[in-house]
Amino acid sequence: MFDFDQLYDRRPTSTFKWDAMPDLFNVSPDEDVIPMWVADMDFAIAPVIQDAWNARMQHPIYGYSRAPQSLYDAIIAWQKRYNWTIAQEDLQFHQGVVPALALVIQELTNEGDEIVISTPAYYPFKDVPTRLNRHVVECPLVINDGFFSYDFDALEMALQNASAYIFCHPHNPGGTVWDQTVVETIIALCKKHDVLLISDEIHADLLFAPHEHVPVMSLTAKEDRVVSLIAPTKTFNLAGIQFAMSVTTNDTLKQALTDAAARLAQFGPHVFAMTATEAAYTHGEPWLQALLAYIEKSADYMKTELEQIDGVRVWKPQASYLVWMDVRDCALTDVELMKRFKEAGVIIYPGTKFGQTGEGFFRINIASPFSVIEEATKRMKAAFTK
């Protein structure tokens, strides 16, 4: 019904995945290369979104827009699947999760404050607060049975003098889904130490059964100091629409974020972001389910193949399309492996991109047609053994 096997040449579309390679990896997009680094997908979006855009384009005027009630209804209805009922007045629109994170840090913490992150971490979690002159405290996750877990004693220690904690829920780069006990403990620790909890839930819809997403705000009280960040962009491959939402029920935080948006003239959302979001959340479910089945097959394939190499372990993600490959028992260094993968024409992120705890790992984006996954896997296997 949906053709995830279709190959598209993304190079004519000014795409970051290809066009940033010369700067970031010293690799030309014209080489025989498979980019599997930045987290977007090489699949066509759900036809219902394309249709909604086409329909909107029939009207040739694109003046100032205002979010319609139907958009709010679609957003609220989507989150109900997780037993999370969002009140419309608690929602604010942003031009992406990272821009929202920057606004939250800027407005709700002070220069010099400690911001705690659990590493390895999605790299803007460190970069954004650092650029805003906050002090980032890295608290390492621990490896348990081939997945990350929390050392809550260490986290509590780190939170003692902190003003905010950035929670990656589910976890990028590890692909770990945090269960209710973890979520409850994090909420309790932040509350105990009066730490603002910022929950980035951008990967939440991309879950593989039997894992379930428990939104932080499905478990918190109105006055709790929590801001959750959500978006349809990772789920539906729409990163280019630059759209995300923050949600907070705490009146003081809400007022501060609303004032900041007004002060910085941040209004929205973009006309095509509104159209896409409403269509995705209203009609996108069948596409999403088909996508998840497709990605899971690729993850299983890559795990089976790459684990044939001595010392390689592949963490099949519990959520999202990012595979975390463990090469700590491999005879080759990360630097040597990175060089070999590049020479083989596969561009992936070394785990150290996500902090020092990422040493001995690589992150592979498998959201590409299966034929591409097969070719990349073949190239990586050859790179290990050449």
Ligand X SMILES: Cc1ncc(COP(=O)(O)O)c(C=O)c1O
- Confirm if 172 and 138 have CB atoms less than 8 A apart: no
- Give yes or no for residue 196 binding ligand X (CB under 6 A): no
Q: Does the bond joining 369 to the residue before it have cis omega, within 30 degrees of 0?
A: no
- Give yes or no for residue 231 binding ligand X (CB under 6 A): yes
- Give yes or no for residue 39 binding ligand X (CB under 6 A): yes
Nearer to ligand X, 127 or 259 (CB): 127
Nearer to ligand X, 92 or 383 (CB): 92
- Give yes or no for residue 96 binding ligand X (CB under 6 A): yes
Nearer to ligand X, 244 or 279 (CB): 244
Non-local CB neighbours of 41 within 8 Å, separated by 6+ positions: 237, 321, 367, 368
- Give yes or no for residue 98 binding ligand X (CB under 6 A): yes
Non-local CB neighbours of 2 within 8 Å, separated by 6+ positions: 46, 47, 286, 287, 290, 291
Q: What is the CA radius of gyration of the chain?
A: 21
User: DSSP 3-state assignment of 371?
Assistant: helix
Interface residue with ligand X among 97, 295, 302, 327 (CB under 6 A) is 97
Smallest gap from Cβ 122 to ligand X, in A, equals 4
Among all residues, whose Cβ is closest to ligand X? 96
φ and ψ at residue 208, rounded to 5 degrees: -100, 135
The string of DSSP codes covering 237-279 is T-GGG--EEEE---HHHHHHHHHHHHHTT-----HHHHHHHHH
Residues 115-134, interacting with ligand X (CB under 6 A): 122
Nearer to ligand X, 355 or 379 (CB): 355
**Nearest CA-CA partner of 370 in 42, 139, 24:** 42
Nearer to ligand X, 41 or 97 (CB): 97
Nearer to ligand X, 248 or 384 (CB): 248
Smallest gap from Cβ 240 to ligand X, in A, equals 9
Residues 170-189, interacting with ligand X (CB under 6 A): 172
| Candidate ranges 15-23, 208-216, 231-239, 334-342; the one touching ligand X (CB under 6 A) | 231-239
| Candidate ranges 26-34, 81-89, 90-98, 252-260; the one touching ligand X (CB under 6 A) | 90-98
What is the sign of the dihedral through the CA atoms of 78, 84, 86 and 90? negative
- Give yes or no for residue 114 binding ligand X (CB under 6 A): no
**What x-and-dash track marks residues 233-272 binding ligand X by CB under 6 A?**
x-----x----x----------------------------
d(CA 191, CA 162): 12
d(CA 106, CA 133): 9
Total number of residues binding ligand X (CB under 6 A)? 13
| Candidate ranges 68-76, 92-100, 247-255, 335-343; the one touching ligand X (CB under 6 A) | 92-100
| Candidate ranges 52-60, 61-69, 95-103, 131-139; the one touching ligand X (CB under 6 A) | 95-103
Run of H or E residues at 53: helix 47-57
Angle formed by the axes of helices 180-192 and 152-159, nearest 10° = 30
- Give yes or no for residue 202 binding ligand X (CB under 6 A): yes
And the tokens for 385? 């053994």
d(CA 174, CA 317): 7
- Give yes or no for residue 383 binding ligand X (CB under 6 A): no
Smallest gap from Cβ 167 to ligand X, in A, equals 10
d(CA 322, CA 355): 16
Residues 291-350, interacting with ligand X (CB under 6 A): none
The site for ligand X (CB under 6 A) is made up of 39, 96-98, 122, 168, 172, 200, 202, 231, 233, 239, 244
